[in-house]
Amino acid sequence: RCGYRLCRILVFLRSFLSLYSTFSATTASVPKCRLSRLCPPQHFALHIRSGAANVVGPNICFDGKIIMSHVLNNVGPGLNIVVVNGDLSTMVIFFLLKIKDPEDILAYLKEIKPGMIVLVASFDDVTKKMTDEMREIFVGMGSALIKSVKHRDSWVFAGRAGAKSKSLFEKVSEPKTNIYEGWPEMVEVAGCFPRNQTDRLTD
Protein backbone atom coordinates (compact mmCIF):
# COMPACT_ATOMS: atom_id res chain seq x y z
CA ARG A 1 0.00 0.00 0.00
CA CYS A 2 1.02 3.63 -0.37
CA GLY A 3 -0.04 6.83 1.30
CA TYR A 4 -2.60 9.09 -0.37
CA ARG A 5 -0.02 11.67 -1.54
CA LEU A 6 2.50 9.05 -2.68
CA CYS A 7 -0.19 7.15 -4.60
CA ARG A 8 -1.24 10.32 -6.40
CA ILE A 9 2.38 11.00 -7.36
CA LEU A 10 2.80 7.45 -8.67
CA VAL A 11 -0.41 7.70 -10.69
CA PHE A 12 0.76 11.01 -12.15
CA LEU A 13 4.16 9.59 -13.08
CA ARG A 14 2.61 6.56 -14.74
CA SER A 15 0.24 8.78 -16.73
CA PHE A 16 3.12 11.05 -17.76
CA LEU A 17 5.31 8.13 -18.85
CA SER A 18 2.45 6.60 -20.82
CA LEU A 19 1.73 9.93 -22.54
CA TYR A 20 5.44 10.46 -23.29
CA SER A 21 5.77 6.97 -24.77
CA THR A 22 2.74 7.55 -26.97
CA PHE A 23 4.06 10.93 -28.11
CA SER A 24 7.52 9.50 -28.85
CA ALA A 25 6.08 6.61 -30.84
CA THR A 26 3.82 8.96 -32.81
CA THR A 27 6.69 11.34 -33.55
CA ALA A 28 8.97 8.52 -34.61
CA SER A 29 6.29 7.15 -36.96
CA VAL A 30 5.93 10.34 -39.00
CA PRO A 31 7.58 9.95 -42.45
CA LYS A 32 10.33 12.45 -43.19
CA CYS A 33 10.64 14.79 -46.18
CA ARG A 34 6.89 14.43 -46.82
CA LEU A 35 7.22 10.83 -47.95
CA SER A 36 4.10 8.67 -47.83
CA ARG A 37 5.83 6.00 -45.74
CA LEU A 38 8.62 5.49 -43.25
CA CYS A 39 12.04 4.55 -44.53
CA PRO A 40 13.57 1.25 -43.40
CA PRO A 41 16.47 1.25 -40.94
CA GLN A 42 19.82 2.41 -42.33
CA HIS A 43 18.09 4.53 -44.98
CA PHE A 44 17.70 8.28 -45.35
CA ALA A 45 14.49 9.93 -46.53
CA LEU A 46 15.02 12.35 -49.40
CA HIS A 47 12.97 14.59 -51.64
CA ILE A 48 14.61 16.64 -54.38
CA ARG A 49 12.76 19.10 -56.59
CA SER A 50 14.31 21.12 -59.40
CA GLY A 51 13.75 24.80 -59.95
CA ALA A 52 10.91 26.04 -62.14
CA ALA A 53 12.21 28.03 -65.13
CA ASN A 54 14.51 30.75 -63.79
CA VAL A 55 11.97 31.98 -61.25
CA VAL A 56 11.35 29.43 -58.48
CA GLY A 57 14.41 27.84 -56.91
CA PRO A 58 14.93 24.13 -56.20
CA ASN A 59 14.38 22.29 -52.95
CA ILE A 60 16.46 19.54 -51.34
CA CYS A 61 15.19 17.69 -48.24
CA PHE A 62 17.37 15.00 -46.66
CA ASP A 63 16.71 12.96 -43.52
CA GLY A 64 13.84 15.26 -42.59
CA LYS A 65 15.72 18.53 -42.99
CA ILE A 66 15.32 21.13 -45.72
CA ILE A 67 18.93 21.71 -46.71
CA MET A 68 18.42 23.90 -49.78
CA SER A 69 15.42 25.98 -50.82
CA HIS A 70 14.32 29.27 -52.31
CA VAL A 71 13.03 30.27 -48.86
CA LEU A 72 16.42 29.62 -47.25
CA ASN A 73 17.97 31.78 -49.96
CA ASN A 74 20.84 29.35 -50.50
CA VAL A 75 20.11 28.27 -54.07
CA GLY A 76 21.08 29.81 -57.36
CA PRO A 77 21.27 29.35 -61.13
CA GLY A 78 23.06 26.21 -62.28
CA LEU A 79 23.88 23.08 -60.31
CA ASN A 80 22.80 23.12 -56.68
CA ILE A 81 24.75 20.35 -54.96
CA VAL A 82 24.72 18.86 -51.47
CA VAL A 83 27.37 16.31 -50.47
CA VAL A 84 26.53 14.15 -47.46
CA ASN A 85 28.73 11.89 -45.37
CA GLY A 86 27.31 8.73 -43.85
CA ASP A 87 27.53 10.35 -40.40
CA LEU A 88 25.18 13.11 -41.63
CA SER A 89 27.77 15.88 -41.61
CA THR A 90 26.81 17.89 -44.67
CA MET A 91 28.55 20.33 -46.95
CA VAL A 92 26.35 22.57 -49.04
CA ILE A 93 27.78 23.85 -52.30
CA PHE A 94 26.03 26.57 -54.23
CA PHE A 95 27.25 26.79 -57.82
CA LEU A 96 26.55 29.83 -59.95
CA LEU A 97 27.42 28.32 -63.31
CA LYS A 98 26.80 31.64 -65.06
CA ILE A 99 29.84 33.24 -63.44
CA LYS A 100 32.03 30.44 -62.08
CA ASP A 101 34.93 28.96 -63.98
CA PRO A 102 34.04 25.41 -65.16
CA GLU A 103 37.51 24.28 -64.07
CA ASP A 104 36.69 25.22 -60.47
CA ILE A 105 33.48 23.19 -60.61
CA LEU A 106 35.28 20.24 -62.16
CA ALA A 107 38.03 20.39 -59.53
CA TYR A 108 35.43 20.25 -56.77
CA LEU A 109 33.59 17.31 -58.32
CA LYS A 110 36.85 15.39 -58.57
CA GLU A 111 37.46 15.90 -54.84
CA ILE A 112 34.24 14.17 -53.78
CA LYS A 113 35.35 11.00 -52.04
CA PRO A 114 33.99 7.54 -52.91
CA GLY A 115 31.01 6.59 -50.78
CA MET A 116 29.74 10.14 -50.29
CA ILE A 117 26.09 10.79 -51.16
CA VAL A 118 25.57 13.49 -53.80
CA LEU A 119 22.25 15.34 -54.19
CA VAL A 120 21.74 17.62 -57.19
CA ALA A 121 18.94 19.95 -58.29
CA SER A 122 19.01 22.16 -61.37
CA PHE A 123 17.89 25.77 -61.52
CA ASP A 124 17.82 27.87 -64.68
CA ASP A 125 20.19 26.34 -67.28
CA VAL A 126 22.83 23.85 -66.10
CA THR A 127 24.39 23.22 -69.52
CA LYS A 128 26.07 26.57 -70.16
CA LYS A 129 29.27 25.47 -68.46
CA MET A 130 28.65 21.74 -68.22
CA THR A 131 31.57 19.88 -69.80
CA ASP A 132 31.74 16.28 -71.01
CA GLU A 133 34.19 15.54 -68.20
CA MET A 134 31.68 16.76 -65.61
CA ARG A 135 29.02 14.54 -67.15
CA GLU A 136 31.33 11.54 -66.90
CA ILE A 137 31.86 12.22 -63.20
CA PHE A 138 28.10 12.14 -62.61
CA VAL A 139 27.94 8.89 -64.59
CA GLY A 140 30.47 7.54 -62.09
CA MET A 141 28.02 8.50 -59.32
CA GLY A 142 25.23 6.44 -60.85
CA SER A 143 23.65 8.90 -63.30
CA ALA A 144 22.13 7.39 -66.43
CA LEU A 145 20.55 10.59 -67.77
CA ILE A 146 23.17 13.32 -67.39
CA LYS A 147 24.44 12.85 -70.95
CA SER A 148 20.95 13.60 -72.26
CA VAL A 149 20.47 16.83 -70.28
CA LYS A 150 20.05 19.69 -72.76
CA HIS A 151 19.63 23.46 -72.76
CA ARG A 152 17.14 24.54 -70.07
CA ASP A 153 16.27 20.97 -69.04
CA SER A 154 15.21 20.38 -65.44
CA TRP A 155 17.30 17.67 -63.76
CA VAL A 156 17.38 16.11 -60.30
CA PHE A 157 19.67 13.37 -59.08
CA ALA A 158 20.75 11.50 -55.98
CA GLY A 159 23.73 9.18 -56.25
CA ARG A 160 26.93 8.11 -54.60
CA ALA A 161 30.52 8.77 -55.62
CA GLY A 162 32.07 5.55 -56.85
CA ALA A 163 28.69 3.90 -57.43
CA LYS A 164 28.72 0.60 -59.28
CA SER A 165 25.06 0.66 -60.33
CA LYS A 166 22.53 3.07 -61.80
CA SER A 167 20.73 5.32 -59.32
CA LEU A 168 16.97 5.00 -58.96
CA PHE A 169 16.74 8.67 -58.02
CA GLU A 170 17.08 10.67 -61.22
CA LYS A 171 14.74 12.48 -63.57
CA VAL A 172 15.02 14.83 -66.54
CA SER A 173 12.20 16.94 -67.96
CA GLU A 174 10.70 16.04 -71.31
CA PRO A 175 10.37 18.49 -74.24
CA LYS A 176 6.58 18.20 -74.22
CA THR A 177 6.51 19.77 -70.73
CA ASN A 178 7.98 23.07 -72.00
CA ILE A 179 4.96 25.19 -71.16
CA TYR A 180 6.53 28.21 -69.47
CA GLU A 181 7.66 30.21 -72.51
CA GLY A 182 10.09 27.48 -73.52
CA TRP A 183 10.92 26.36 -69.98
CA PRO A 184 10.01 22.83 -68.82
CA GLU A 185 8.09 21.96 -65.70
CA MET A 186 10.00 21.13 -62.53
CA VAL A 187 10.89 17.49 -61.87
CA GLU A 188 11.31 15.69 -58.57
CA VAL A 189 12.41 12.43 -57.01
CA ALA A 190 11.70 11.06 -53.55
CA GLY A 191 12.33 7.90 -51.58
CA CYS A 192 14.67 6.13 -49.20
CA PHE A 193 18.41 6.29 -49.88
CA PRO A 194 20.67 3.69 -48.21
CA ARG A 195 23.17 4.88 -45.64
CA ASN A 196 25.73 2.37 -46.94
CA GLN A 197 26.52 1.45 -50.51
CA THR A 198 25.73 -2.21 -49.91
CA ASP A 199 22.19 -1.52 -48.72
CA ARG A 200 19.32 -1.73 -51.18
CA LEU A 201 17.87 1.42 -52.75
CA THR A 202 14.12 1.97 -52.36
CA ASP A 203 12.20 4.58 -54.28
**Residue 69 predicted with pLDDT over 80:** yes
Separation CA 65–CA 47 (nearest Å): 10
Percent of the chain predicted with pLDDT > 90 = 45
> Could you tell me the sign of the dihedral formed by the alpha carbons of 110, 83, 119, 195, in that order?
positive
Lowest mean pLDDT of 18-22, 27-31, 165-169, name the range.
18-22
- 3-class state of residue 200 by DSSP: coil
CA distances, 141 to each of 21, 60, 110 (Å): 41, 18, 11
Rounded average pLDDT over 35-60? 92
> Taking residues 112-129, what's their average pLDDT?
91
Q: Cβ distance 65 to 46 under 8 Å? A: no
Mean pLDDT of 89-114: 77
Q: Would you kindly state where each structural domain of the chain is located, as residue ranges?
A: 1-30, 32-194
Question: Residue 8 pLDDT > 60, yes or no?
Answer: no
C-alpha span between 180 and 75 (Å, rounded): 21
Is-above-0.75 flag for pTM? Answer: yes
* pLDDT value of residue 25: 45
Q: For residue 155, give the 3-state DSSP assignment.
A: strand
Over residues 76-101, the pLDDT tens digits come to 888 899 998 877 666 666 666 555 68
* pLDDT at residue 128, as a whole number: 85
Among the listed residues 96, 99, 95, 122, the one whose alpha carbon sits nearest the alpha carbon of residue 184? 122
